[in-house]
Amino acid sequence: MAFLSGSPSKDVRDKGLRLFRTGCVKKELDTDRRAHFVVQGETDKHSVIFDKARGMWSCDCKFSSMKGRNCSHIYACKLSIK
């Protein structure tokens, strides 16, 4: 799971907004140091972690791993904590 930052593309934002609006984001754990979310994607569930101490997000999906960028799952989680 890579730690990622940066601004998502319009496609990623749109998909993340759709995930958020349809209730696909569930916060599983929230401590002083980390927040852990499970996001039901189109085909699989994904694990998203926010490292509060470092201000960094990570997701276990292929997009984040292959592209090294924030994915729709991370964007949806960011929306859920605003």
Q: Which class is domain 2-80?
A: alpha beta
Taking only the tens of pLDDT, the chain with its 82 residues reads: 444 455 778 999 999 999 999 999 999 999 999 999 999 988 899 999 999 999 999 999 999 888 878 899 999 999 998 7
> What count of other Cβ atoms lies within 10 Å of the Cβ of residue 24?
21
Domain ranges of the chain: 2-80
Q: Are strands 56-59 and 45-51 parallel, antiparallel or unpaired?
A: antiparallel
Query: Which pTM does this prediction carry?
Result: 0.87
Going from the C-alpha of 47 to that of each of 25, 28, 35, the distances in angstroms are 10, 10, 11
